[in-house]
Structure 1
Amino acid sequence: MGRSVREQRQLWFRRLDRAFWLIWAALPVVLWLAYDRTTTASATIAESLIGEQAKCAAIVANPLTMSAKGQVLFWSLFALGVSFYAVLIGILHRMVNRFANGRIFVSETLQGVWWMGIFLVVWPFVDTITTIAVTYALYQLGDIKFFLPSYGVDVGTVAGGVFLMALKFVIEQAILLQSENDLTI
C-alpha cells in the first residue's frame, strides 16, 4: 500500500533535514575555500595579466599584506557576513526539522519566518554601513590605496524580507480562521 500525502511530505522534509546537516558539515570546507580565494586571488590575478592590467590588479587588497589592525578589521567584516548566512541557514534548518516532525503550523515556525524577514530587511543596511566603515578605516590605515564608498542597498533582499514578514501575518490569520472554523463545526 502506498504512503499518504502527509507521510510523503514528512519523508521529503526528513531528507531535506539531512541535506541541511550536509550543509553544516560542508561549512568548514566552504570557509577554507573562501579564505584561500581571498588571500591568493590578487597574486594569481596579477600573474595572469600583462602591462597596465597587471598594475590595476595590484590595487586589489590582500588581507595578508595588511597591518595587524587592518587584518582584524578585514576578517571581522568577513566573519560578520558569514555569521549572517549561518543564522539564516540555522533558522531554515530549525523550521525544516519541525516540518519533518509534523509540526508545520506552530508558533515557532511563525517566529522563524518573522525573524528571517527581519534579518533580510536589516542585513543590506548593516552590510552597507559596515563595509563602508571598514573600507574607510582600511584606507586611513594605509592598507588599501583608495576609498570609493558604495551606497548600494540590495532592494531585492529587503523586499524578500518584507514578503516573509507579511507571509507570517497571512499564515497567522489562516491558522486563526481554521481554529474558528473547527470550533463552529
Structure 2
Amino acid sequence: MVVVGTSVREARQRWFRRLDLAFWMIWAAFPVVIWLAYRHNTTASASIAASLSPEQAKCAGIVTNPLDMSRKGQMLFWTLFLFQLSFFAVFTAILHRMVHRFARGRIFVSETLQGVWWMGIILVIWPFIDLITSNAVAYALHELGDIKFFLPSYNLDIGTIAGGVFLMALKFVIDHAILLQSENELTI
C-alpha cells in the first residue's frame, strides 16, 4: 500500500531498505544456521535409528556420524561441509550487495548488472562443482573406510542451472534496455 504523498519510487526504496534489513538479520542468524547444520550432521543418524524398527535401524546404520570417522575422514567431511556452505554465503553476499544498492536508489547500474551476471555464472557452475566434489569426498571416505558403501551420485540440479542461464540472459536484456534508454534520452 502506497502512503499518500509518497511516490512509487520512494515506496520501492522503503521496501528495499526493509529487505536490506532482513539480509542483515540473515547474516546475524548465520552462526545459528551453521550450528544447526552441524548438529544435524552429527546427531541425525542416532535420532533416525532410535525411531525405526530393529530391521530398519540396521539400514540406518549405514549413515555414519562424522564424529566417528578417522581424522582424515573428518577433515574431508568438514572441508566439504564448509565448501558447500561457502556457496550459500557467497550467493547471499552478492544478492545482499544488490539489494543494498537498490535501497540507495541505484538499481540500473553496472555493479548491479555484474552482480546478476556473477549470480548466473555461480548458479550454472555450482551443480557441476558440487557433484564432482561430493563424489570425490565420498570416494575418499570409502577408501579410508569411514563409509561402508560408495554409490556415486549423478544428480545435477537442472533447475539451478536453468536459473543461472536465465539470470545471465536477464543481464543482457537489462543491459540492452539501459542502452535503449540512454539513446532515447539523447534524442529528446
TM tier, smaller: over 0.9
* 1:1-27: CA deviation from partner (whole Å, max 9, x where unpaired): 521111100000000000000000000
* 1:61-118: CA deviation from partner (whole Å, max 9, x where unpaired): 2100000000010001111111000001000000000000000000000000000000
Per the TM alignment, residue 49 of structure 1 is displaced from its structure 2 partner at its CA by: 1.6
Counterpart among 10, 15, 30 of residue 12 in structure 1: 15
Counterpart among 159, 162, 167 of residue 164 in structure 1: 167
Output the CA distance in 2 between the equivalents of 1:15 and 1:152. 37
Output the CA distance in 1 between the equivalents of 2:53 and 2:182. 70
Cross-structure match for 2:98: 95
Counterpart among 84, 96, 120 of residue 81 in structure 1: 84
SS of residue paired to 1:147: coil
Output the CA distance in 1 between the equivalents of 2:153 and 2:139. 11
Output the CA distance in 2 between the equivalents of 1:42 and 1:115. 37
Cross-structure match for 1:111: 114
Counterpart amino acid of 1:73?
A: L
Root-mean-square deviation (CA, aligned residues, Å) is 0.7
Cross-structure match for 2:133: 130
Output the CA distance in 2 between the equivalents of 1:28 and 1:50. 35
Output the CA distance in 2 between the equivalents of 1:50 and 1:157. 37
Per the TM alignment, residue 46 of structure 1 is displaced from its structure 2 partner at its CA by: 1.2
* 1:37-63: CA deviation from partner (whole Å, max 9, x where unpaired): 110011111122222101001111210
Counterpart amino acid of 1:57?
A: A
* 1:105-132: CA deviation from partner (whole Å, max 9, x where unpaired): 0000000000000000000000000000
Query: Which 5+ residue runs of structure 1 have no aligned equivalent?
Result: none
Counterpart amino acid of 1:52?
A: E
Counterpart amino acid of 2:177?
A: A
Q: Which runs of 4+ in 1 moved over 6 A?
A: none
Residues matched between the structures, number:
185
